[in-house]
Amino acid sequence: MHNMFHEDEVPSEFRCAVRQEGVVELSPMAFFSGLEDSTAAQLLGVAVNSGEIVEMDDGLKHYCFYLDLGGARYLPYWDADKARQNVYQPDSEDD
């Protein structure tokens, strides 16, 4: 029920941590527009779940996207630096 009433909320930076890092040959805007025809996992080449944040860096700026079942939302004010300070602790159902 909590999820139903708060489905538009994005996870707090304090509740997120880096799960995986990598390099992709895709600009943040190409990733965002590519989600119209492909999944985030297809574009990034790694498993990505709904409800996760994808951070991309083009060398000048960080871009964060919240993934949900309907695609992705650009989060211009989400503070990835705060999330990077947290240690990832997988749930029992995570990889």
Distance of alpha carbon 67 from alpha carbon 85, whole angstroms: 21
- pLDDT tens, 20-53? 888 889 999 999 999 999 999 999 999 988 888 8
Distance of alpha carbon 73 from alpha carbon 84, whole angstroms: 20
| Domain presence at residue 49 | yes
Identify the pLDDT of residue 41: 92
For residue 7, pLDDT over 70 is answered with no
Measured from the Cβ of residue 39, the count of other Cβ atoms closer than 10 Å reads 12
Q: How many domains does the chain fold into?
A: 1
| Domain presence at residue 38 | yes
Domain that holds residue 22: 13-82
| Domain presence at residue 7 | no
pTM > 0.75: yes or no? yes
Identify the pLDDT of residue 18: 75
| Domain presence at residue 26 | yes
| Domain presence at residue 3 | no
| Domain presence at residue 57 | yes
| Domain presence at residue 44 | yes
